[in-house]
A = this chain, B = another copy of it.
Amino acid sequence: MKLDTAANILAKIGNPTRLKIVRLLVRAGDEGMPVGMIQKKLGIPGSTLTHHITHLKSAAVIRQERRQATLVCKMEFDVLRNLVDYLTEECCADVASAEDAA
């Protein structure tokens, strides 16, 4: 993963509202969650929610699939996994601590 890509993803999920969305979707698993339900849970205007969803989509953190009249948001788990790998592959490489076995 390129540094700019990682920085972009980190910046996107580094906003409290968007991190809340990410957490909801992570818990929702592969089923995802409709925009409307996210809006209810967060209690914010639709336009504001769309703004944040657009950010998350632009970094491929989430994707949307239409199911009937509702749009379902789903976590891109691979992207999140790659991001964590990017951080951990460098992280702690020089720090052979005892906690590794935990």
Contact = CB atoms under 8 A, between A and B. Distances in A.
Copies in the complex: 2
Interface string A9-37: 11111111011100100111110000000
Contacts of A23: 3, 90
A6 B23 CA distance: 12
Chain A: interface secondary structure? helix
A14 B9 contact: yes
Interface of A: 3-4, 6-16, 18-20, 23, 26-30, 77, 80-81, 83-84, 87-88, 90-95, 99
Given A6-B19, A10-B11, A77-B95, 6 more contacts: A7-B13, A23-B90, A26-B94, A27-B93, A30-B95, A77-B91
